[in-house]
Chains A and B, each alone.
Chain A
Amino acid sequence: MGNLKPLVEKEVKDLLRDPRIYIGLLIPILMLPLIGFAMSVAVRSATEAAMKEMKVAVLDQDGTETSGNLISILTRMGLNMPKVSANSLDRAIGEARTLESKALLIIPERFEENLLSFGKVSVKVYSIVDSVGLGSEGAYAAIDGALETASEILSTMLISKLAPNVEPDVVRNPLNVTRYTIIKDRTIKVSPRVLLGQLVIGYGIMVPMILFILAITVTQIAATATAVENEEKTLETLLTFPVTRYDILMAKLLGSSIVAILGAVLFTAGFLLYFEGLFSLPGMEIGVGAVFHALPPPPLETYTLLALSLILSILFITSLGVVIGALSSDVRMSGSLLGVVIIPVLIPSMLIMYGDLKSLPLAFQLFTYVLPTSYPMIMAKEMIISTIPIEVIYGIPYSAALTLIVLYATSKLLAPEKLLTLQYRLRLRRTKSRRAKDLE
């Protein structure tokens, strides 16, 4: 540990002061809340503007007291309903456009007659779309809502007419369903659709996404930190210090992990602030997290396994980052080589986030289980609703063995003799492929 501490200190200080690193870390915490806030403000103001004067032109072809009642119900609900009197649909739409209406409502002939004789009554709504912003969507939803309410009022009127002693709501909704969901030993008064929806957002997407971002960040930082040593010609000196190759590697892994964890914390905070802004939008107040309080907390051993699989995953992926950085003569080259590692990590992450692993073809499953980075994601996804997944139990010793092999191989690679040879071969291959392209 004696030599490790100053080496880790060097890594952390050098990384945190590097604009290529700290700008990347600060962007999510600064940008995501700003994006969320900007979206919230833009949508809110657009919705408010759209709702302010919600004009729905009406073509009343019936012209009876009942059709007049429908129009006055809708007017009382906040709609501005100018009348049009065209004799064709095209002209009516043209007039509605001239009046800057959001929609055209057509009340057909024999509306009152059909309604009072309990026949089916059709009204037509032509929505006129002149903007595709989220705010406009709110205005059309409000028109639909007003029509549904008007329909309910008319149904109440009809039911009262038919059976004055009957409660209209009982006729309309004879089944009063209260939904409960049982998870493990806990019964929660919520429908499984709502619960699973929130679990998918929370544990199925958000947590694996944060773990994925962490994996990518840590690899990128380790690769950059090592490539900078090559670029700035400091690695050669470092390798002549009285420290073991293992110490140098561990310092890189720890330094990169510390910075990456800080990055993941900032990203998570930025992401949560983004959602804070987003979910405060009208119609989106779904209260993510409310259901989680009602759920049984995951047992301690699941947290332990999550932490263990996460540490192994970080060590594994950071070692790969160090290998990439060590093989790169500069940061630009490490950036292009990084894709080779990121894509194989990305695919299983997507499979875990959006799919059910067990229903996938065997080849995809094996590909996912081969990577130690998959296990914390599987664990995070499953930890609340099931017992510990069996694949994680087997995956942890497997990940530990593979990580040890990768660590050993990486520490062996940190020898200039090998690095110079490999870098030379890599450069030669790139030059050859560039020449081949030029010839083409």
Chain B
Amino acid sequence: MHDNEVVEVRNLIKRFGDFAALDNVSFKVCKGEIFGLIGPNGAGKTTTLRILATLLLPTMGYARVLGYDVVREADKVRSKISYLAEDAGTYRNLTGYEYLSIVARIYFGSLAEAEDAVEEAVKISGLGERVTEKMKTYSKGMKRRIQVARALMTKPKMAILDEPTSGLDVFHAQHVRGIIKEHVEKDGAVILSSHNMLEVEHLCSQVALIYRGQIMIEGNPQEIKEEYGATNLEEAFLEAAGKWET
């Protein structure tokens, strides 16, 4: 694994019974990159991210995060990453502040560091005074913002974000995109998935179009558009999927 590489995925296969969710997937993510996995529902985006987050075991192939094997060195991987699940819920009876504080104390050894992280998270969430209210009173968007804040406050070397702007209105989606960009500028890396190809086009430095468990194309959004003579990634994806089918 190259020094600059944060994620290395090689020939990854994941089967659920007879169904192949991932079929020989390979890609790399480098430091300072926002890597986007895009594709339709059931393409294998979430399965890939769950394997990287040590939640699922690959059937074959391997994946490394910051040089650590996601199966054999799962504990070390977990200490370096932060994972935001697509449908991540919240603890209804805790306040946003309490939740952030508990997570910060898990990640940071010193109380001062944990407090700084919580302050940062409160800013990221943009919840203001409502952060001290119980999370059961939050809207879907507010819950998502607290989860994004939770995922990024720990300043992970590698943030794995499954549909980070899902459920957010246009203002808050823009705010979260800004936070993600800021995160990679501070020496972090992000791998994210999205249905929203236009969002990915503007946010990601590298993308992989995944379809039926296989990566169809991988590269810089501009290069991909040029390769398929498309005006945006959505068109490029449809063109590529059509060719793939034939």
Instruction: Identify the A interface with B (CB < 8 A).
Output: 2-3, 5-7, 9-10, 13-14, 17-18, 231-234, 236-237, 239-244, 416-417, 420
- Which stretch from B22-30, B99-107, B200-208, B229-237 is at the chain A interface? B99-107
From A6, A17, A243, A417, B55 is in contact (CB under 8 Å) with A417
4 closest Cβ contacts across the A-B interface?
A17-B93, A233-B89, A232-B89, A242-B79
Q: How far is the CA of A16 from the CA of B103 in the complex (A)?
A: 19
Q: Which chain B residues lie closer than 8 Å to A237 at the CB level?
A: 83-85, 88-89, 147, 150
In the complex, whether B130 has a CB less than 8 A from a CB of chain A is no
On chain B, the number of residues with a Cβ less than 8 Å from chain A's Cβ atoms is 34
Once the chains bind, are A232 and B78 in contact (CB under 8 Å)? no
Q: How many angstroms between the C-alpha atoms of A237 and B99 in the bound complex?
A: 12
Q: Does B177 contact A (CB under 8 A)?
A: no
Bound-state CA distance A234–B78 (Å) is: 16
The closest CB in chain A to the CB of B79 belongs to A242
Q: How far is the CB of A24 from chain B (nearest CB, A)?
A: 15
Given A233-B88, A241-B78, check contact A417 B57 (CB 8 Å): yes
- Expressed in whole angstroms, the Cα–Cα distance for A244 and B54 within the complex equals 12
Find chain A residues with CB under 8 A from B103 CB.
6, 241
Closest to B104 in A: A6
Question: Which residues of B are found within 8 Å of A2, using beta-carbon distances?
Answer: 109
Report the separation of the CA atoms of residues A241 and B54 in the bound assembly, to the nearest whole angstrom.
10
Q: Contact between A416 and B56 (Cβ–Cβ < 8 Å)?
A: yes
Which B residues touch A13, using CB under 8 A?
93-94, 98
Given A13-B94, A239-B55, A240-B54, A234-B106 contact (CB < 8 Å): no
- Contact of A234 with B90 at beta-carbon distance under 8 Å, contacts A17-B134, A244-B75, A416-B55 already known: yes
The answer, yes or no, to whether B140 is at the interface (CB within 8 Å) is: no
- Residues in A with CB closer than 8 Å to B79 are 242
- Check if A233 sits within 8 Å of B106, measured CB to CB: no
Q: What are 15 A-B pairs with beta-carbon distances under 8 A?
A: A6-B102, A6-B103, A9-B102, A10-B94, A18-B93, A232-B91, A234-B89, A234-B90, A236-B55, A237-B83, A237-B89, A240-B53, A240-B81, A241-B107, A416-B56
Contacts of B87 in A (CB 8 A): 233
Provide the bound-state CA to CA distance between A291 and B102, in Å: 50
Q: Is the CB of B85 within 8 A of A233?
A: yes
- A416 in contact with B91 given A236-B55, A242-B78, A243-B106 (CB within 8 Å): no
Q: Which of A234, A239, A242, A416 has the most CB of B within 10 A?
A: A242
Contact residues, B21-57 vs A (CB, 8 A):
50, 53-57
Known A10-B102, A244-B75; contact A234-B91, beta-carbon cutoff 8 A: yes
Q: Does B92 contact A (CB under 8 A)?
A: yes
Chain A hits for B93, CB < 8 A: 13-14, 17-18
Give the chain B neighbours of A417 by CB distance below 8 A.
55-57
Chain B 127-158 residues near chain A, CB threshold 8 A? 134, 147, 150
> Measured between C-beta atoms, what is the minimum distance from A330 to chain B in Å?
12
B147: chain A residues within 8 A (beta carbon): 237
Chain B residues, CB < 8 A from A10: 91, 94, 99, 102
In contact, A7 and B106 (Cβ under 8 angstroms): yes
Query: B94 contacts which chain A residues (CB < 8 A)?
Result: 10, 13-14, 17
Chain A proximity of B60: nearest CB distance (Å): 15
User: How far does the alpha carbon of A232 sit from the alpha carbon of B56 in the complex, in Å?
Assistant: 20
Q: Min CB distance, B18 to chain A, in Å? A: 14
Contact at B106–A236, with CB atoms within 8 Å?
no
Of chain A, the residue at the smallest CB distance from B105 is A6
Query: Contact between B92 and A232 (Cβ–Cβ < 8 Å)?
Result: yes
Q: Which residues in A have their C-beta under 8 angstroms from that of B92?
A: 14, 18, 232
Q: Which residues of A contact B90 (CB under 8 A)?
A: 232, 234
State the Cβ distance, A267 to closest chain B Cβ, in Å: 22
Q: A10-B91, A18-B93, A232-B90 are in contact. Are A240 and B102 (CB under 8 A)?
A: no
- Asked if residues A240 and B75 are in contact (CB atoms below 8 Å), the reply is no
